[in-house]
Amino acid sequence: MEWRAFTRTAFDDDGRTSRMKRELVEYSRDLVASFQPREPMRRRGVVNKGRRVKARPHVAVIGAGLAGLRCAEVLIQGGAKVTVVEARDRFGGRCSLSGQTLDMGPSWVHGTDDNPIVRLSNATGTTLSTMGEDILTYDDQGRLLSTESSKAILKTVWALLEEAFLYSNRNSEQIDPGLNLEDFFRDRLAKGSLAPQVQRQVLMMANTWGSFIGDYWGKQSVKWLWVEESLRGRGMYVSGGHGRIIQHLASRVMANADVHLSTRVKSVESITKKGKDPKIFLTTERGRRLGFDEVVVTVPLGCLKRHKPFFKPPLPARICRGIASMTYSSLEKVYITFPSAFWEPSTSVAGRAGAARSSSGTNDSGGKASPPPGFILFP
């Protein structure tokens, strides 16, 4: 089931902003209201409560993935002195080629409208691809469905998904958390006029929603389905790999920041002395202690889960509970490669099933050879 953006009606409630946007605005206001910022440390000679402040705050960014690199770039543009600390021996975080010409990490750009990754892709010549419509669909008996049947089933699936999203947006407070997406589908199909065989096929196709949320779709609570609101625009596959994008961001950071690769942070400690601004100290696994005015942590969620005593003093209990409750679920990607593209001489649909429409033969991996022919599976 190809990813696509939902129509605006799936999220907007009678012309109002979607629930997701309303919630984000409210949470942002609460955060700003609870945050007590220090006086800006920008111009030399500015006096803050009787004492002189630093002209350039020294800020550490932990993590050199996309978030860390972009954060460092923004801080540099704002005039801060920046140090980037990364546990791995490379940039990119989860975006990794692992010595290959194929992305071993994320592959998709979801929502291409006003998406910074799209702009970076264009700037670096990275190929983005749309998935072809010539995808083969088989039922549970191994029978190939006709193109017309496949499109009709997919249309029904997306229509029911949009109905579920709108229902979640409008009625989340009243919905029983135990109502899952699979049950929602079964209920709506039972009330419809589709033949039993077609209903089964719709359910089988809808089961692939688990590939988007990273879990069995029967675990998706309709009460919280609105949280899965899709970004505006199309879904694009990064067939050129993230290599050039990472190189582009890393080069700008390396030219203007102090970068420490292969440096694993053991703890982040905030020390406050009376009459002085707080000081943040990073302690590395090798025992090195680095001091900063501010620290931004951009490590993956799994890293935060594994290293609970990372912060000293500990993070507030509500934030710790939030970290413990969140999950990326389970998303896998499997490459099957062949010595040669044996399917290319044939013009049959079977040879083109699931193929991305792109100039994938171009070398987007920074000088490495093009990837071997094959298929990508998202089980």
Residues 6+ apart with CB under 8 A from 139: 145, 200, 201, 204
108 belongs to a structural domain: no
Max intra-chain CA distance, the chain: 80
30 belongs to a structural domain: no
CATH number reported for the structural domain that contains residue 53 in this entry: 3.50.50.60
Distance CA 240, CA 147 (A): 29
Q: What is the pLDDT along the chain (379 residues), one digit of tens a residue?
A: 454 545 555 555 554 567 777 777 777 777 666 655 555 444 433 444 455 555 689 999 999 999 999 999 999 998 999 999 999 999 988 887 666 667 777 888 888 888 888 999 999 999 888 766 567 788 888 888 888 998 899 999 999 999 999 999 889 999 999 999 999 999 999 999 999 999 999 999 999 888 778 788 999 999 999 888 777 788 888 887 888 999 999 999 999 999 999 999 999 999 988 877 789 999 999 999 999 999 999 998 888 888 766 899 988 888 888 888 887 777 778 888 888 887 765 544 333 334 443 333 333 444 455 667 777 777 6
Q: By the 8 A CB rule, do 69 and 116 touch?
A: no
Distance CA 66, CA 141 (A): 43
Do both 217 and 136 map to the same domain?
yes
Q: By the 8 A CB rule, do 307 and 291 touch?
A: no
Do both 250 and 233 map to the same domain?
no
Do both 9 and 56 map to the same domain?
no
Do both 207 and 143 map to the same domain?
yes
Specify the number of domains making up the chain: 2
Do both 155 and 171 map to the same domain?
yes
Do both 203 and 141 map to the same domain?
yes
Q: pTM of this prediction?
A: 0.74
118 belongs to a structural domain: no
Do both 69 and 151 map to the same domain?
no
Do β-strands 108-110 and 279-284 pair in parallel, antiparallel, or remain unpaired?
Answer: unpaired
Q: Residue 135 burial by CB count (10 A; 0-12/13-18/19+): exposed, middle or buried?
A: middle
Do both 82 and 163 map to the same domain?
no
Domain carrying residue 220: 1-15+130-237
